[in-house]
Amino acid sequence: MKILIADDESVSRRMLQGLLTKWGYEVVSAEDGKAAWGLLNAPDAPRIALLDWMMPGQNGVDVCRELRAHRPAPYTYILLLTAKDAKENVVEGLESGADDYLTKPFHPQELKARLRVGIRLLNLEDNLVQAREAMRFKATHDGLTGLWTK
């Protein structure tokens, strides 16, 4: 599974990249929101994004809002990583389109567990899409010949 890390602090980005690589994930990184947005719109975009809230220019919350408004499929699981821990910040982050919220400094095992939740959700979504496409095919094709029906 490919994961995007977007954080303007190079030390944090490298530490997180090392941790995720050790856990077996493919990692791509961005140092700001604009670069993150570009990677999330690539043909082989990561399905999971770890976004720092506070980045110059386009911040993590801005990226969440833009992604939810302009790229409905395939779904990207977004986890905001931030030092902002006030309840109103948590609410704002989740309302912007983030799926989860983790405050820095975080415990590595908590991050690992939250990533597993994200992967489960993405797998469920993939299964639903496959089932929908199979039903669509059955509704538009002859069961015996496989030919398209009117």
Ramachandran category for residue 15: left, alpha or beta (phi over 0 → left; psi -120 to 50 → alpha): alpha
* pLDDT for residue 117: 94
* pLDDT for residue 144: 77
* pLDDT for residue 135: 79
* pLDDT for residue 35: 94
Ranges of residues in the chain with a pLDDT under 50 are none
Q: What does the DSSP assignment read for 48-100?
A: EEEEES--SSS-HHHHHHHHHHH--SS--EEEEEES--SHHHHHHHHHTT-SE
Classify domain 2-140 by CATH number.
Answer: 3.40.50.2300
* pLDDT for residue 112: 96
* pLDDT for residue 140: 84
For the chain, the domains span: 2-140
* pLDDT for residue 28: 97
